[in-house]
A and B are shown apart, each in its own frame.
Chain A
Amino acid sequence: MAVSAALTILYTINLAVPKAMPSEVVSAIAYITILSITIASFHQALKVSGWGFRDGLMRAFSMAVIGFALWFVAKLANAIYTVIVGVEPPYPSQIDAIWVLGCIFLILGLWSYTSKFKILWREAAEPLKHLITLIPLAIFFTVTTVSLAAVNPFKLISVDPLEASMDFTYTVLDSILLSLAILNLLLFRRGILGRMWVLISGGVALGMLLDLLSLQGFMETWYYWGHPVEILAIWGFTLAALGANLYAETFRPSKQEISNYASTSSRKIKRY
Chain B
Amino acid sequence: MLLEAVDEGLLALGKQLRHAIYRYLEVHKGLKREELPDRVEEFSEALEGIFGYCSQFLEKAILKRLYKQLGLEFKQGGGSSFKDYVGNARIAFERAMKNFESDTVTPHSTRKDEMV
Contact = CB atoms under 8 A, between A and B. Distances in A.
Contacts of B61: 119-120, 123
B16 A55 contact: yes
A253 B54 contact: no
B53 interface: yes
Give the interface SS of chain B, mostly helix, strand, loop or mixed: helix
B49 A120 contact: no
Contacts of A81: none
Nearest to A124: B57
A191 interface: yes
Contact of B14 (A116, A124, A189, A250): A116
Interface in B45-71: 48-58, 60-61, 64
B17 interface: yes
Instruction: Indicate the size class of the contact surface on chain B.
Output: 20 to 34
B12 A119 contact: yes
A194 B14 contact: no
A251 B20 contact: yes
Given A191-B51, A192-B50, A48 B20 contact: yes
Contacts of B56: 123
Contacts of A121: 57
B24 interface: yes
A187 interface: yes
B23 interface: yes
A250 B17 contact: no
B57 A189 contact: no
A50 B16 CA distance: 8
A128 B55 CA distance: 15
Contacts of A194: 52-53
A169 B101 CA distance: 70
Interface in A151-207: 186-194
Nearest to A187: B54
Contacts of B23: 251, 253-254, 257
A187 B24 contact: no
Given A123-B60, A193-B50, 10 more contacts: A48-B20, A50-B16, A56-B14, A119-B61, A120-B57, A188-B54, A190-B48, A193-B52, A253-B23, A254-B23
B3 to A, nearest CB: 20
